[in-house]
Structure 1
Amino acid sequence: MLKKVLVLRHVHFEDLGAFHEPLQAAGYDIRYSSVGDGDFCLGDPLAPDLLVVLGGPIGVYEDEAYPFLAVERAFVATRLAKKRPTLGVCLGAQLIAAALGARVFPTGLKEIGFSELILTEAGKASPLRHLAGVAVLHWHGDTYTLPENATNLAASALVEQQAFSIGRSVLGLQFHPEAETDQRFERWLVGHAAELSAAGIDLGVLRDDAKKHGQRLRDAARQLLAEWLAGLEP
């Protein structure tokens, strides 16, 4: 029988990307639930074998503007309380951190573009080891304080907190290893056009870096996720 993974999606073009293949290879039946769907964050949060929470261009703390965030945070918190496997990417990682009582806040800068991670010793011994020397895609303006009982796995030159784990079952990734950097990357550039313009990002450089680093990042991302999935508790 296939295992079930529920994927919470906030904008349509930010999907599983490079993570899709290793999830299928590990025997997961993939179901998306997107903001605006009637079943978003409804039902039993403990039912899926794995929960994946993807990114989005909003802040965890913007409950007044986006009321669904409080519901989503509670959904995630219920899973975490039972130590059920949960993976968060960018906004997803921040939601995990917030659900665990950590503070999520603006950094005062936009970290958008490709650069290598600085792995901690714990990160070098984790599935993130596959990203050593690989330029990953950063795309955020917020960060978080490290949740209680979490292990910091990585930093960047600009932001200290880039990834954390809690035991084998919880992984938060501030950056975007999953982003597809082939022609589908254009969806990101159009979807985030206002943010890119406001931040003064050179689209030509971003496109060129996506082509330059994309294949290596895709391969490393698939290896990272495959190893993490293999290490989940039965």
Structure 2
Amino acid sequence: MRVAIIQHVAFEGPGRIADWIDARGFSSQTFHPYAGDALPELAALDLLVVMGGPMSVHDVAEHPWLVAEKHLIRAALEGGKRVLGVCLGGQLIAEALGAGVRPGEQAEIGWWPLEKQAQAKRSPLGRMLPQRLMAMHWHGETFDLPAESIALYGSAACANQGFVWRERAVALQCHLESTPDSIEALLAACPDDLKRAGAVQDAQTIRDGLSQCSSMAPTLQRLLDYLSGPLASLT
């Protein structure tokens, strides 16, 4: 399994996704288009992982490298590759599949519970995931559900927390990959985000929940094992 990771800012790396890659013995390479890196060749990857970032999918004028990245994501989806998107990455997948990406009704930052959507039982992946899960959130935008997708989770502040498309592409709004270090990096890089209105916790409350990182790990691992395994459709 060859994994290509696209990272959008220095402080939002793959976190526990990198741990999973190492544990499985897969090869991986991380690309930083914001720093001038060329994007991976489609033929050289089996799983494309698209990370989060503070920019919007619509910010192509400020971040022109997003244009090529959007083309790559669309080509990966059309080409039968397995794709995982986290936060901004999930929004980019949704947009590539024709769904809208827009500001949410409120910001969602901190530790908030997820509830599995009823339609998730239509997906083999959805049936494998827990009914309830405490997750890390750090976003102000959200996505609509694309055609042919199956909703996986929702939260009180954000109805669409994740979906699976054709059993080989998953978009997540939350950050299941978070580690204590990655959360500290977000707190250091984006302190003003904690002043936003909505479901926003303060820094101390977020730090008090750092032990939740370990409880998210089994769900992330199950999801990644499914995406990289024989059950994920390649059609």
Q: Distance in 2 between matches of 1:151 and 1:184?
A: 29
Alignment-derived partner of residue 165 in structure 1: 164
User: Against the structure 1 CA distance between its residues 146 and 133, is the aligned structure 2 distance closer, same or farther, given a 3 Å change threshold?
Assistant: closer
TM-score by length of 2: 0.88
The answer to whether the 8 Å contact 1:46/1:78 transfers is no
The answer to whether the 8 Å contact 2:125/2:167 transfers is no
Q: Secondary structure at the match of 1:207?
A: helix
The superposition leaves residues 8-32 of structure 1 with CA deviations (integer Å, 9 ceiling, x where unpaired) of 0011221221122322333420100
The answer to whether the 8 Å contact 1:4/1:29 transfers is yes
The answer to whether the 8 Å contact 2:9/2:34 transfers is no
Alignment-derived partner of residue 192 in structure 2: 194
Q: Distance in 2 between matches of 1:128 and 1:31?
A: 31
Structure 2 unpaired stretches of 5+: none
199-208 or 54-63: bigger deviation? 199-208
User: Against the structure 1 CA distance between its residues 136 and 87, is the aligned structure 2 distance closer, same or farther, given a 3 Å change threshold?
Assistant: same
User: Against the structure 1 CA distance between its residues 78 and 105, is the aligned structure 2 distance closer, same or farther, given a 3 Å change threshold?
Assistant: same
TM-score by length of 1: 0.88
Alignment-derived partner of residue 81 in structure 2: 84
Whichever residue aligns with residue 218 of structure 2, its letter is: D
The answer to whether the 8 Å contact 1:115/1:138 transfers is yes
Aligned length: 229
CA RMSD of aligned residues (A): 2.1
2:120 to 120, 123, 129: 123
The answer to whether the 8 Å contact 1:6/1:48 transfers is yes
The answer to whether the 8 Å contact 2:13/2:182 transfers is no
Deviating above 6 A after TM superposition, structure 1's stretches of 4 or more consecutive aligned residues are none
2:110 to 99, 109, 113: 113
The superposition leaves residues 149-169 of structure 1 with CA deviations (integer Å, 9 ceiling, x where unpaired) of 111111111111111111221
Shift of 1:123: 2.9
Q: Secondary structure at the match of 1:157?
A: coil
User: Against the structure 1 CA distance between its residues 128 and 72, is the aligned structure 2 distance closer, same or farther, given a 3 Å change threshold?
Assistant: farther
Alignment-derived partner of residue 209 in structure 1: 209
Whichever residue aligns with residue 232 of structure 1, its letter is: A
Whichever residue aligns with residue 93 of structure 2, its letter is: I
Q: Distance in 2 between matches of 1:81 and 1:220?
A: 27
The percentage of aligned residue pairs carrying the same residue is 31
The answer to whether the 8 Å contact 2:3/2:28 transfers is yes
Shift of 1:184: 4.4
**Superposed counterparts of 1:4-83, under 5 Å:** 4-41=2-39, 43-83=40-80
The superposition leaves residues 68-101 of structure 1 with CA deviations (integer Å, 9 ceiling, x where unpaired) of 1122111111111112111111100100111112
